[in-house]
Amino acid sequence: MMQTPASPKTNRPMAQWPRPLPLHLSLQTMTWLSSLAALSGLKNGSLPWKPGLKKAAANLQKSLAKADPDLPALAAAVDAEACRRLKAFTDGVRRYRDHPRVSRRARPEFWAQGSTRVLDYGIHDGPGLPGAPVLVVPSLINRGTILDLTEKQSLMRHLAGEGFWPFLVEWGAPGEGERDFDLSDYIGRRLEKALDEICRTAGQAPAVVGYCMGGNLALALTVRKPVQVGALALLATPWDFHAGPAGTVKMLKVMAPGLMAMIGQLGELPVDVLQAMFASLDPYQTTNKFQRFAALRTGSGKARQFVALEDWLNDGVPLVGPVAEECLIGWYVENTPAKGAWKVGGAPVLPAEVKAPALIVIPSRDHIVPVGSATALADAIPEAERMILAAGHIGMMAGSRAPAMLYKPLTKWLKETLTEVK
């Protein structure tokens, strides 16, 4: 069997390197390169603007009122700036590709079935068990490495260092045994079995922590296994999928027939499609971050953190057909969770049925899970505590301020809550 060639510099499989520019990036580079052609339209006000940009457009038009679009100096300046931005972006992508990768120590496997593994992050340096167990559940569409990104940005290592016995679910890419899975299968046939084994081994009910879509799975697990969950923390977890911009729902409704046809043909929703959909929520973020990365020193702490995070983003997992349909159509289009119509194993997942102490962490700058979507979940769980963070969806977990902003207060809540439960 032919193996995928690896880079001689990084030993990273070439197939995992950045692919050709997706549509939203190609459009942005075209915008830069077409800046000269737009000058006349900007000056006479003929270009259409979004309502939220009208004020900025009016100010720009005033500044151009006395400028001649054909003036060589102005045209040269615009062209130079467009080329500068494009060069900075391409330099950033190239430097990311060639940057040394961040090594990560392999963790022992606690439990496994099919493509799903549960990794053991406990510190086993004494005769007894490491500490109170904590089961951490990430999203199905991303690797769990976001929870153990680097030595400093690692919720898992922080929990272990604070005396807990952390377990991390690593879903893995769906294998043949998961091709027909829906969310009920992932929860009932994987999460519940892993939870049973943790309870048996640790001798107590663990706290369950869910991040993003993993929070939805953790919530369903808690509702179905109330005696076996000692506490529940949901981080940036969506619930009311219509609480965000109305345009997102409208776009998905329009795209739904084509997406379902693709899923029917391939049996899954590919990673590239998922990445493009999430990137479209903030189209300029990708080009801007690579421009900033181009200015960082190779090997610096910030550069290493960027590379680790970008590798995680580029290493997504496809959604098998039934799960993709359940999430895209059921959650986003029909809003089944907020309506009480999302069912796991034939029974609705109702937040009001959560018996364990609950904490809802809501990042206020989240472009992926709008504040209103996560707040709806906090409102739906009786007596749930809430923590508001001045951060984005990924920054809250892997940013430079994540240890102080999230890890420490979450750890404090877990210690106090599990002590009270005992």
pLDDT greater than 80 at residue 112: yes
Give 404-416 pLDDT, tens digit per residue. 999 999 999 999 9
Window from 64-78, 121-135, 284-298 with minimum mean pLDDT: 64-78
Q: What is the pLDDT of residues 288-330, one digit of tens each?
A: 888 999 999 998 989 999 999 999 988 888 999 999 999 999 9
Greater model confidence, 109 or 11:
109
Residues contacting residue 29 through CB under 8 Å, at least 6 positions apart: 21, 86, 89, 287
Phi, psi (degrees; rounded to nearest 5) at 168: -115, 125
User: Which of 165-169, 239-243, 268-272 is the least confident region?
Assistant: 268-272
* 106: confidence class by pLDDT, cuts 50, 70, 90: confident
Give the pairing type, strands 164-170 and 132-137.
parallel
Closest CA to 172 of 211, 144, 137: 144
* Mean pLDDT, residues 100-127: 91
- Look up residue 8 and give its two tokens: 């001689």
Looking at every residue in the chain, the average pLDDT score rounds to 87
Average of pLDDT values for 34-53?
A: 72
Other CB atoms within 10 A of residue 242 CB: 18
Provide the pLDDT confidence category of residue 81 given band limits of 50, 70 and 90. confident
- How far apart are the C-alpha atoms of 415 and 422, rounded to whole Å? 11
332 vs 57: which has the higher pLDDT: 332
% of the chain at pLDDT higher than 90: 59
177-225 pLDDT, tens digit each: 999 999 999 999 999 999 999 999 999 999 999 999 999 999 999 999 9
Per-residue confidence band for 50, with pLDDT thresholds at 50, 70 and 90: confident
Q: What pLDDT, on a 0 to 100 scale, did the predictor assign at position 33?
A: 64
pTM (predicted TM-score): 0.84
All structural domains of the chain, each given as residue ranges with its CATH number in brackets, are 23-45+54-98 (no CATH), 109-244+318-421 (3.40.50.1820)
| Close Cβ partners of 268 (under 8 Å, ≥ 6 residues apart) | 174, 179, 318, 319, 320, 321, 324
Cα–Cα separations (whole angstroms), residue 12 to 96, 118, 307? 12, 25, 12
